[in-house]
Amino acid sequence: MIETGFPTGGPTLRELGERDVIKRIRAQAPSAVNGDDAAVLAPPTPNSRVVAATDMLVQGRHFTSDTSTPYFVGRKAALQNFADIEAMGARPIAALLAVSAHPDMPVVVMEEIARGVGDMASDYACELVGGDVTSGDELVLSVTAIGALGGNRPPLTLAGARPGHRVIAHGRIGYSAAGLALLQAGVAVPPALEPLVAAHQVPQLTPGRGVVARAAGACSMTDNSDGLIRDISQIAEVSGVGIDLASNALTPDALLREAGELLHIDPWEWVLGGGEDHTLVGTIEGSAPVGFRSIGTVSRKQGVRIDGAEPATARGWESF
């Protein structure tokens, strides 16, 4: 069953005040190190480096009450930052949450957002350790993820792809965009297609896959947040290489095809330009690590191609 909508009624942020709102946030995502001026984190492993990432979600721009719930928004906000940490080959160890909201917003909305962030953090064996709340005209979330990069291997940056590498991916591609299209179409979503909606509301990423890839010898990585062609073009451009994708490794599956038929949309648009799946995409010299699959190769001829031809679309998310 698809869930959308934001709660109404009950005490508001204005009625409770900042201190009580923060207490309610902490109650939804408890942490022993949350509650002071700043959180003090112990080094998770010897010889580790700190990795940090932050993203914002703005109501009306990145989510609406028609397409999500506060709990799902919280989980998604955390996941998209954890995906950035994973894409460096690191593991998340803590999260910070800052929220700007209208004073008349019911406090239950804030509690559900915090619960979503806290539950996603728990999935990654880390905690929500602090943040901030303030008054504003729009609901805006900013999650900062802190990660640990262990060992002596270099991080998985955009600059590590080399000719001869295999292009690898972990996670679904195109599901989130298809789910959003279904929600926005105003049609009755068949139960069989509900996994697409779920993939948009809370994308799935197996914790630890970035660490596994780095340990297996991966050399570059990013996550599919803005669209596959757009994001993989970043690796090609920064590394000064070309990337040749294989269409048979990206062909829309039965769910995507069924959604495409229902909405009269070519599902390849979702695969190539959709984004927000937060699929890990990278390159490696040898075989694909456990949990990853091969989707192409790296060449000397710059640019991104599919079966040797220009992609049908390079459209993706644009912030401005």
Q: Tell me whether residue 226 is annotated as binding.
A: yes
Contact criterion met (CB below 8 Å) for 53 and 124: no
Q: Tell me whether residue 307 is annotated as binding.
A: no
Q: Tell me whether residue 123 is annotated as binding.
A: no
**Residue range 13-149, CATH number:** 3.30.1330.10
**CATH class, range 166-306:** alpha beta
Q: Tell me whether residue 62 is annotated as binding.
A: yes
Angstrom distance (rounded) from CA 314 to CA 229: 6
Q: Name the DSSP class of 165.
A: P
Q: Tell me whether residue 55 is annotated as binding.
A: yes
Contact criterion met (CB below 8 Å) for 76 and 201: yes
Domain 13-149 and domain 166-306, same fold? Reply is no
DSSP character string of 10-45: S-BHHHH-HHHHHHHHHHHS--TT-SSSS-----SS
Q: Which helix (H) or strand (E) holds 132?
A: strand 127-135
pTM to 2 decimal places: 0.92
Q: Tell me whether residue 231 is annotated as binding.
A: no
Q: Which residue type occupies 129?
A: V
Instruction: State whether residue 168 is helix, strand or coil.
Output: strand
Q: Tell me whether residue 132 is annotated as binding.
A: yes
Closest CA to 230 of 268, 271, 272: 272
Q: Tell me whether residue 131 is annotated as binding.
A: yes
Per-residue pLDDT of the chain (320 residues; tens, 9 = 90+): 789 999 888 889 898 888 888 889 888 988 887 877 788 887 777 788 999 999 999 999 899 999 999 999 999 999 999 999 999 999 999 999 999 999 999 999 999 999 999 999 999 999 999 999 999 999 999 999 999 999 889 999 999 999 999 999 999 999 999 999 999 998 999 999 999 999 999 999 999 999 999 999 999 999 999 999 999 999 999 999 999 999 999 999 999 999 999 999 999 999 999 989 999 999 999 999 999 999 999 999 999 999 999 987 767 666 65
Q: Tell me whether residue 104 is annotated as binding.
A: no
CB atoms within 10 A of CB 30: 11
The two tokens of residue 95 are 């999260």
Instruction: State whether residue 200 is helix, strand or coil.
Output: helix
Q: Tell me whether residue 317 is annotated as binding.
A: yes
- What pLDDT, on a 0 to 100 scale, did the predictor assign at position 276? 93
- What pLDDT, on a 0 to 100 scale, did the predictor assign at position 319? 61
Q: What is the largest CA-CA distance in the chain?
A: 62
Domain spans of the chain? 13-149, 166-306
- What pLDDT, on a 0 to 100 scale, did the predictor assign at position 320? 56
